[in-house]
Amino acid sequence: MIRRCFQVAVRLGRHRVLPGVPQVLPRLNPTSAFGSSTDALVSRFCLKKTDLKDYALPNASWCPDMLTLYQEFLEKTKTDGWIKLPSFKSNRDHIQGLTLPFGLAVASDISDWRIFTRCIQVEGQGYEYVIFFHPSKKKSICLFQPGPYLEGAPGFAHGGSLAAMMDETFSKTAYLAGEGLFTVSLNIRFKNLIPVGSLAVLKVDVEKIEDQKVYMSCIAQSRDQQTVYAKCSGKEVLSLSTRLCPATITLRTNGRKNAEDALPSWDPAF
């Protein structure tokens, strides 16, 4: 049995499992990721001394509502336990040294990596946002102002830009609340369109953490809470802070002849 588990682990590391056949994953050693408390994660994530550019700072493109609410939450960081999260151009800068599980890695000579929500460099044209996180309450507030490069219907932000912003806020919240790392599902119901250049406030709550998953919900609305733009629920993030055995993945080859050409995907039953 031990020998078989070892063989399965080796095959998974090389993406060599039989197509369509669930395999049992070995336990994930928490030290291979970051087996740390919320405070330690926040401390590691929010670098105090760095030469990296923080994109979550006010600039000339921010609308009055966004500037005002930003200042309000900045004051809450002094008295109410909120923390302003820095936003660098890549997650590599936030979680340096993190080793992904199951042998996931990409070899590349690319030097300029950018997270999707920081891919537009011109201020005010794409994603303008800042996230505040409350460690003890395990909740986040994201102030999001979509620029004209995110347009869908004329004059309004594309729904996909809001979905990406929700996912990004979920990911940061899940990582800091319970070392969540991978998105498993994201269910969104759009209610109203967001005018380009206006403020949308995303309120994220961690509902529970169990079965190696972080369950969260989000509501995106106007500052005065009179207009709801979208609601998101059922979002699950694989948590690395707990043991992951037994876990099941199924390899889907999508018509490829060789199983080695396909990457494993999460089994919905897990």
Q: Convert the pLDDT of each residue in 122-142 to its tens digit.
A: 999 999 999 999 999 999 999
Selecting among 65, 80, 109, 167, the annotated active-site residue is 167
- Bridge-based pairing state of the strands 83-85 and 127-134: antiparallel
Residue 258 lies in a domain: no
Residue 209 lies in a domain: yes
Predicted local distance difference test score (pLDDT) of residue 90: 81
1-10, 135-144, 154-163, 208-217: the lowest-pLDDT one: 1-10
Predicted local distance difference test score (pLDDT) of residue 122: 94
Residue 69 lies in a domain: yes
Average per-residue pLDDT for the chain? 76
Residue 107 lies in a domain: no
More confident of the two residues 102 and 3: 102
Structure tokens belonging to residue 127: 């994603």
Q: How many CB atoms lie within 10 A of CB 46?
A: 15
Residue 152 lies in a domain: yes
Residue 9 lies in a domain: no
Distance CA 219, CA 127 (A): 18
Residue 128 is part of a domain; what is its CATH number?
3.10.129.10
Residue 162 belongs to domain spanning: 38-95+114-238
Q: What is the DSSP string of 178-239?
A: H-EEEEEEEEEEE-SPPBTTS-EEEEEEEEEEETTEEEEEEEEE-TTSS-EEEEEEEEEEEE
Across the range 63-87, mean pLDDT stands at: 95
Beta bridge partners of 96: none
Q: Are 246 and 229 in contact (CB under 8 A)?
A: no
Kindly give, in sequence order, each residue whose CB lies less than 8 Å from that of residue 198, ignoring residues fewer than 6 positions away.
Answer: 63, 65, 145, 146, 222
Q: Is 167 a catalytic residue?
A: yes
Residue 227 lies in a domain: yes
Q: What is the pLDDT of residues 11-31, one digit of tens each?
A: 444 444 444 444 333 333 333
Residue 221 lies in a domain: yes
Number of domains in the chain: 1
Where residue 101 falls among pLDDT bands split at 50, 70, 90?
low
